[in-house]
Amino acid sequence: MLYCQGPHAQWLLERDGVHSAVLCMDNYDITADGVRDLIVGRHDGGIEVYAYDEGEEAEPVLKFATVGSDSVII
């Protein structure tokens, strides 16, 4: 039986002053490798795609980033 004692952070998306606040996140296999990727939408219109190259238990790696002109809401 698996017991959970609350949320457990495995990876933190640091705010380094360059990026705006995260508005939304979702998981989808956008890279078509059979593993879901992390898609992050930011307040400034930024979209980032992080891939789990070493599997879903590893820290994700930034694969794509772009900035649009409007906020992103998924």
Structure tokens at 20: 């705006």
Tell me: the pLDDT tens digits for 1-18? 455 576 666 667 666 666
Q: Closest Cα partner for 25 from 42, 10, 9, 12?
A: 42
20-36 burial, b for 16+ CB within 10 Å, e for fewer?
Answer: eeebeeeeeeeeeeebe
**How many C-beta atoms lie closer than 10 Å to residue 40's C-beta?**
21
**How much of the chain, in percent, has pLDDT values that exceed 90?**
14
For the entire predicted model, the pTM comes to 0.71
